[in-house]
Amino acid sequence: MKHIYNENKKGAPVFVLLHGTGGTEHDLLPLAGMLNPEYNVLSVRGNVSENGMNRYFKRHGEGQYDVEDLNFRGKELHDFIVESSEDYGFDVRDVIFVGFSNGSNIAINMMLREDTDYRKAILFAPLYPVTIDHDKDLSGAEVFLSMGRNDPMAPEEESKRVIELFESRGADVTTTWVNGHSLPQEAAMKAKEWLEG
């Protein structure tokens, strides 16, 4: 998969950066530097194209996921992260997902998979309208969620569903609310404070 790996400090946690629809592996690099310039960075470009825009998985329409493709791509991305950990010499347990929109959604898929053990994520503008038929134990996991009160793509009840997906499985969830489907400076600063806390 097309990606960037920046090692900033050997043994430090690794931000896995996951962009929004139409983005690239360069989009979230400034955010990673602001969150913690010493953390290492694996930034991955989505390898699905929707009308020429990069995404991590297919969909049938706004908020209508191709669940089969979502699960296939989630496994593919997880396998790529494991491979990268061997290539670049980091521990998968040190991964912190940092996602926006479509990137947040594939991160949720990877955290909820029964065969993975990701424990930390910073997710902006997530949406996950998918039925999950298992209750994976996420106690010990920590998740920061930034959601929009007036997000045209993710209604407030869908945002609350994302919170519930994590809380019902025992994860420690911190939320902040912004206005729309965005990643404003104040949400990034709250994420930084959460990370330092």
Range of the domain at 38: 3-196
Angstrom distance (rounded) from CA 125 to CA 23:
14
| Predicted local confidence at residue 62, as pLDDT | 84
CATH code at 114? 3.40.50.1820
Q: What is the pLDDT confidence band of residue 178, given thresholds at 50, 70 and 90?
A: very high
pLDDT of residue 133: 85
pTM exceeds cut of 0.75: yes
In this prediction, what percent of the chain has a pLDDT beyond 70? 100
Taking all residues of the chain, what is their mean pLDDT, rounded to a whole number? 96
60 is catalytic: no
Catalytic pick from 43, 101, 104, 159? 101
Q: Answer yes or no: is pLDDT of 66 > 90.
A: yes
Percent residues over pLDDT 90 in the chain: 96
DSSP state letter for 83: H
Span 123-134, pLDDT tens digits: 999 999 999 888
Confidence at 171, pLDDT banded by 50, 70, 90: very high
Q: Over range 95-107, report the average pLDDT.
A: 98
Q: Write down the pLDDT at residue 63.
A: 84
Check if the beta carbon of residue 110 is closer than 8 Å to that of residue 116. yes
In the residue annotation, 181 being an active-site residue is answered as: yes
Catalytic residue among 19, 104, 151, 159: 151
pLDDT at 90: 97
State residue 120's pLDDT score. 98
Count of the separate structural domains present in the chain? 1
Assess whether 151 carries a catalytic annotation.
Answer: yes
| pLDDT above 90 for 82 | yes
Which pLDDT score, from 0 to 100, does residue 137 have?
96
Q: What is the pLDDT of residues 140-169, one digit of tens each?
A: 999 999 999 999 999 999 999 999 999 999
| Helix residue spans in the chain (DSSP H) | 29-35, 67-88, 102-112, 156-167, 185-196
Residue 120 makes CB contacts below 8 A (sequence gap 6+) with 13, 95, 96, 97, 141, 142, 143
